[in-house]
Chain A
Amino acid sequence: MKRDDTIGKGAVALFCCTAAILLPPWIRLALALLLCVLPFVHPEPFVHRPPQKAARRIAVAYVSLGFALIVAMNALLVHHGTILFVFRGVRATSDGLRVGFEIASRYATLTLAVALFFITTPVDELVDSLERVRAPSYLVFVVSFSYFLVSQLPSRISQILIAQESRGAPVRSSVFGRSTALFSIVSPLILSSIVESLDRSVALELRASNRSTAPSRISQSPRMFSPPAVIFLVLTIILVLGSMFRWLFQ
């Protein structure tokens, strides 16, 4: 799989998510562990810049914490089955542990699959691949424009916060006071967004964005599904059909 094979990475994530829902817990856990070590075993499709490495470490730590929390919560809160131990009146049961493990293995696989896809796929690559699979132009525009805005809005929010505080908005008073200040901060943000979207729509219309213009260079390139993408998509379909078959004839 190539580094910019977003469709291939998406197919792997889709397969893992489907497997996390349909396959037994031990296979799910094996998949989750595989997803943890995959960037080291097969590094080509995974970007290896420091931010991605750090994000991957954080994701693995976050999922491990979630895994432990889910297992512990279920072990303590499910009161069926044999009691494993009692600590200051709190009981941990075998059934709780089993249920917790089942849920936690699903959670770990789903979260790691999605996290690995998004950590290793920058949004500009995602936009390119949307164009490549001939997604509607408005969808490509919305994804790229909203990603641009997400990086812009925090500075605008902090400017509004400072401005409203200097005008006397109770941003540091009681919970009730802060709640009343919320509207004075949210409304300029939304109103400015509405006005700016009108301006931008005029700019888009001037550039004839509504007309059927010639497709971009990326969307003119052949719609390529790499062999790994095809394999994982076929595996996902087999998994879904097999589960449906088993469910129907059980």
Chain B
Amino acid sequence: MTLRQTIRLQISGAALPLIGFGVAINASIGLITAALKIPLYLDSIGTVLVAALCGPWAGMLCGVTSNVMASALGSAMMIFFAPVSCLIGAFTALLARLGCFGRWYLAVPGGFVQGFLAALVSAPIAALVSGGTMMAGTDALVMLFRGLGNSTLRSVFYQGLVSDPLDKALTYLFVFLILQNLPERILSRFPGPVQKKSE
């Protein structure tokens, strides 16, 4: 199967509306965490779900569109973090192919690794674009690390290490719980790695 056919297969049928839903969930999940006053982002839960159900290309498209949509809805800086979302989509699909969403004790460490990678990729972008200042509560952590004598890049990376792995591990756990409770009939409608595992 050529690359074009693979992309066409992953981004068609039930996957196409699900990508739209993934983008909307990423954009709106902040409403739930804000209403519950929980210090979590969970802003890549839609990307992780789409990548696990439909594959890497669908996951990457969902991630990039989420960032473009976030920029259009008021967080202009988010568009620069599109490579991070791309990485999340591709890496999640890889982990799903390896059977990461089959057991909770595989999903949670997978989320931690994903969080580490996301911090690694987002740190240079945040340092280059804004010197680590994201106009959010995490700026206090960046200031703390810089006050301890670290460079801007290291401080942003350490801040990412504090918040991202836990956030991504929870995201992976949520998606694992949802996928485990989905009936085979629904899973088989999607072209992604989780469905292939369950065949």
Contact = CB atoms under 8 A, between A and B. Distances in A.
Given A114-B77, A186-B42, A150 B13 contact: no
Contacts of A115: 76
A214 B174 CA distance: 41
Chain B contact residues, majority secondary structure: helix
B77 A178 contact: no
A146 B189 contact: no
Contact of A66 (B16, B135, B147): B135
A182 B32 contact: yes
Given A146-B65, A185-B32, A66 B178 contact: no
A168 to B, nearest CB: 15
A205 B38 contact: no
B14 A142 contact: no
B128 A178 contact: no
A100 B61 contact: no
Nearest to A136: B11
Interface string B6-44: 000001111111111111110111011101111010100
Contact-residue size bin, chain B (C-beta under 8 Å from the other chain)? 35 or more
A77 interface: yes
B36 A153 contact: no
B42 A21 contact: no
Contacts of A152: 24
A5 to B, nearest CB: 18
B21 A154 contact: no
A190 B45 contact: yes
Contact-residue size bin, chain A (C-beta under 8 Å from the other chain)? 35 or more
A123 interface: yes
A107 B28 contact: no
Interface of B: 11-25, 27-29, 31-33, 35-38, 40, 42, 45, 49, 53, 61-62, 65, 68-69, 71-74, 76-77, 79-80, 128-131, 133, 135, 139, 143, 146-147, 152, 174, 177-178, 182, 186, 189
Given A103-B131, A139-B61, A149-B21, 15 more contacts: A62-B135, A73-B139, A74-B131, A138-B61, A142-B20, A142-B61, A142-B62, A150-B27, A154-B28, A157-B35, A183-B174, A193-B21, A194-B53, A200-B17, A201-B14
Interface of A: 21, 55, 59, 62, 65-66, 69-70, 73-74, 77, 99-100, 103-104, 106-107, 110-111, 114-115, 118, 123, 126, 138-139, 141-143, 145-150, 152-154, 157-158, 161, 171, 175, 178-179, 181-183, 185-187, 189-191, 193-198, 200-201, 204-205, 209-210
22 contacts: A62-B135, A70-B131, A73-B131, A73-B143, A99-B131, A106-B128, A111-B76, A142-B19, A142-B20, A142-B61, A142-B65, A146-B21, A146-B65, A149-B23, A152-B24, A153-B27, A154-B31, A157-B28, A182-B40, A190-B178, A196-B21, A197-B14
